[in-house]
Structure formats: C-alpha cells, structure tokens
Structure 1
Amino acid sequence: MLTLKYQRLEQRLGYHFQDKRQLQLALTHRSHGATNNERLEFLGDSILNFIVGEDLFTRFPEAREGQLSRLRSQLVKGETLAEIAREFELGECLILGEGELKSGGQQRDSILADSVEAIIGAIYVERGLDVCRERVLVWFAERLNKLSLNTSAKDSKSRLQEYLQAQRQPLPEYVVVQVGGEGHAQIFTIECRVVLSKQPTQATASNRREAEKQAATLMLTQLNID
C-alpha cells in the first residue's frame, strides 16, 4: 500500500498505477539494492525518444532530419527531464540507498532524470503505447508548444549572456550560496544575479555548471526572454 505522498505523485503524473509495485520499482534507485529501476529506465528512454520524435515529425512536416534531431535532443536531455521531475516533486518519493540519501541524491539531476524515464517505462509495461504516449505528450506539452525550427540550440547561460550584451548590460553573476553532500557527491546551490532584475534566481544541481544553467533558465523566464 502506497503512502499519501505516492498517491499525490500519481495525481501530479495524471496516472494511477493498477499495480503499485510498478511505481515503487520505477522510483527505486540502484543504490537501494539489486531490485531497481534500471531496466525500466532503459525501456522508458527508448519510448520517450520515439514519442517525442513522432510528435516532432508530425508537428514540423517541413523540417529536415538534423533539425528534428536537434529539437528532440533538447527535449529528452537529462536537464529537461530533471526539470520535469522537480515539477512532479519526484525527489521526495525516490527510494534510495542510505549513502545516496545522505549525499543529497533526491536532488541529483541524473537520478531525477532516470526516474522519469523509468516511470515512462512502467506506464508502458502496464498500459501500452497509447496511454504512455498520451501522458508523455501532456507532460511535455508546454515545452513542445514553445518549439520552432528557429529555436536556439544554445544553452541558457549563452542565451542570457548574449541578451545582456545586446542590452549593453553587465554580464550575469553566478554565486555559490550553498554546497551540500559529501565530497564525492556534492550538491551545489547557485544564484544568478543580473542588473535588469532585482530578484535573483536560484537552482540546485549535482554540479556547479548544471546549477548555473538552471538558474540562467529561470532568469530567462523571469525576464520574459523566449
């Protein structure tokens, strides 16, 4: 029997598992033991690439292969999946080994991203492709709708820097506000500060560069920069 937090997760996912063991398995990291989500992650990764690729193929009939591949890579990369995991508040539901718990594994991008793929795999196993496709496209709808063939492939830090340069403003400042976890598995909290915004943005990730990129993404949104 799943606890209330897992029931709430199902509500956020918009999918209720008939076999709750599938959800538990999808949330179980390999650090917890031999029975873990790696096989579901493998399956979910393949299905996610297919579903997103199929949608892009239909959405952009005039696009070339290279353009479709670029757009898909933006959507299925670990950074995007970790963002979606945080939207689902997935971290609090992960089943981790003691070492990962102590080192902040609940907030590690790679673990969060892998768990999203595992959930996709679990939905496919339980209900098949049609139901799985419907859920994935709902989760990715906002991001898919923002895409165009002119969507920049540059990361958020580059886009923010170029925007500020065009506005003749100082470059963004990235400040480490907290470092947690053990030495081999640190968690960085980074603040992004720009002159054009009185309110800095803050992000947490398993490495400094990733946290800076996430903070820059939040700043782009705050400044209403597409």
Structure 2
Amino acid sequence: MFKDILRLSGNLKYEFNDINILKTALTHSSYVNEHNNKNGISNERLEFLGDAVLDLIVGEYFFYNLKNTSEGKLSKLRSSVVNEETLFEIGVKFSIGDYMRFGKGELKFGGKKRKSIIADCLEAIIGAVFIDGGYEATKKVVLNIFKEKLIEAKEFKLNGDYKSRLQEILQKTNGVTLNYNLYNETGPDNDKVFYSEVRVNGEILGRGSGSTKKLSEQMAAKEALVKLGEEDV
C-alpha cells in the first residue's frame, strides 16, 4: 500500500497537477509484471527522462557558478553530485522506498532498501516533476533537494579538499589518529550552521563552521593546516 504520497509531494515542496504521474514514478517494474498488467506502466521511462533532466540542471548550476572552470572539471563536479550513492542518500532522506509499489518477490528480497532501486526512483520522480510542471519547476525541486551536495562540490572546487591534504600530511607520521567531531549546530532547519573540530591524538588541532557538516569539517581541517604551517590564513 502507498503511504500518503501527498506527504512525499509536500516534502519535495512541489504540488503535482496530476498525482497519477507521481504514482507512476513510484511504481517498480516488478509490481507491473506481477500483476500481469499489460497496460500498466512502471517508472523506467520516467527514470530515463529524469536522468537527462538532472544532468542538465546540475551541469547548468556549475556552468554559471564556476565560470572559469574547464569542461573536464565541470564534468567531474557533475559526476560527484549525480551518482548512485548521492541519489540513494537523498532518496533515503525522503523515505522514497516506503512510498513505492513493488511486486511481492522484490519486496521480500529488500527492494525498497536497494541502492539502485532507490536511486532510479528518485530520477523517475524528477522526470515526473518535469512532465507535470516543466523545466523551471523541476529546477527548483532539484536545487532544493541537492542543495547540500551542490554547495559542498562547489566549495571543494573553490577552496580545495583540506581534509585530504591533512590526512596525507599526518599519514607520514606513524601512530597518529585523526578524528572529526560535530560539537554544535545553530539556526533553523533550512539555514543551519554546523561547527566541527578535528582532533589529532585526542588534542584539538582545528575548528571550523559551515552550512553543511562536511563543510565545517573542511574548515576545521584548514585551521589545522594553518597551525601546521601548511596553509595560509
């Protein structure tokens, strides 16, 4: 049975003109096959469309926000955001698997938690929004649900991956342990600021803040690099 898919629509901050297209986006092929419904439609075609639309929206975002970046680097940035792992992570955040329709066999073998299925379904939902509301409406939804991932990718490009640099430097010394800890967060849910610290052998070496947990860890790593003389202030 469907959970209340209107709740999912609300969580996505998009009101469908035709709720049936969202139902289609949430229908796995196993459900159609098991019910021997020749006229039934699974989410596979919407997934195909959503994949293309998502690539365009994310590519456009980086194109306009990183104007001096080469085509090759733009492609890598897009791939760092549009991939199965990220799609699955966002899909789980919205509990997409709980809204989907599966055949009994697929459901029995954990279909609603399978990474590839959840990732594909999120793309199908993006395709459904595109068919229902057009490009601008889809762009608004995508930029909202991918906000953290887009910000992180852009900031890493502009400022560098401080965590990796710190890890590489400390690996040269045997017996060094490196840990990150989120010690505070402030602000409303839609505008949070996260505060992290990095500890080396239990001692605080750096602290930082950012609009996502990962960004706050990057800033903590940067402060640690400054203290080690490996980075300018």
Q: Normalised by the size of structure 2, how large is the TM-score?
A: 0.66
Match of 1:78 among 61, 84, 90: 84
Q: Tell me the secondary structure at the aligned position of residue 33 of structure 1.
A: helix
- Equivalent runs, 1:125-204 vs 2, <5 Å: 125-146=131-152, 147-148=154-155, 149=157, 165=171, 168-169=175-176
Residues 8/165 of structure 1: CA separation in 2 closer, same or farther (3 Å cut): farther
Q: How far off its partner does 1:79 sit?
A: 0.4
The 1-side partners of 2:177 and 2:103 are apart by 44
Residues 150/116 of structure 1: CA separation in 2 closer, same or farther (3 Å cut): same
The one-character-per-residue Cα deviations of 1:43-81 (angstroms, maximum 9, x if unpaired) are 000000000000100000000011100000011101000
Residues 4/65 of structure 1: CA separation in 2 closer, same or farther (3 Å cut): same
Whether the 8 Å CA contact 2:2–2:101 is kept in 1: the answer is: no
Q: Percent identity?
A: 43
Query: Which residue does 2:50 correspond to in 1?
Result: 44
Q: How far off its partner does 1:169 sit?
A: 3.7
Q: Which amino acid aligns with 2:217?
A: I
Residues 69/123 of structure 1: CA separation in 2 closer, same or farther (3 Å cut): same
What CA RMSD, in Å, does the superposition of the two structures yield over aligned residues? 3.3
Residues 80/13 of structure 1: CA separation in 2 closer, same or farther (3 Å cut): same
Query: Which residue does 2:187 correspond to in 1?
Result: none
Query: Which residue does 2:14 correspond to in 1?
Result: 15
Q: Does 1:225 align with 2:217?
A: yes
Query: Which residue does 1:217 correspond to in 2?
Result: none
Q: Which amino acid aligns with 1:14?
A: K
Q: How far off its partner does 1:28 sit?
A: 0.8
- Equivalent runs, 1:94-105 vs 2, <5 Å: 94-105=100-111
Q: How far off its partner does 1:142 sit?
A: 1.7
Q: How far off its partner does 1:33 sit?
A: 1.6
Whether the 8 Å CA contact 1:49–1:72 is kept in 2: the answer is: yes
The one-character-per-residue Cα deviations of 1:171-218 (angstroms, maximum 9, x if unpaired) are 99xxxxxxxxxxxxxxxxxxxxxx989xxxxxxxxxxxxxxxxxxxxx
Q: Which amino acid aligns with 2:49?
A: L
Whether the 8 Å CA contact 2:43–2:124 is kept in 1: the answer is: yes
Deviating beyond 2 angstroms after TM superposition, the runs of 4 or more aligned structure 1 residues are 2-5, 150-153, 158-172, 221-226
Q: How many pairs are equivalent?
A: 179
Whether the 8 Å CA contact 1:165–1:171 is kept in 2: the answer is: no
Gap runs ≥5 in structure 2: 34-40, 180-199, 203-212, 219-233
**Structure with the greater alpha carbon radius of gyration:** 2
Query: Which residue does 2:119 correspond to in 1?
Result: 113
Q: Tell me the secondary structure at the aligned position of residue 90 of structure 2.
A: helix
Q: Tell me the secondary structure at the aligned position of residue 225 of structure 1.
A: helix
Query: Which residue does 1:32 correspond to in 2?
Result: 31
The 1-side partners of 2:131 and 2:88 are apart by 22
Q: Tell me the secondary structure at the aligned position of residue 14 of structure 1.
A: coil
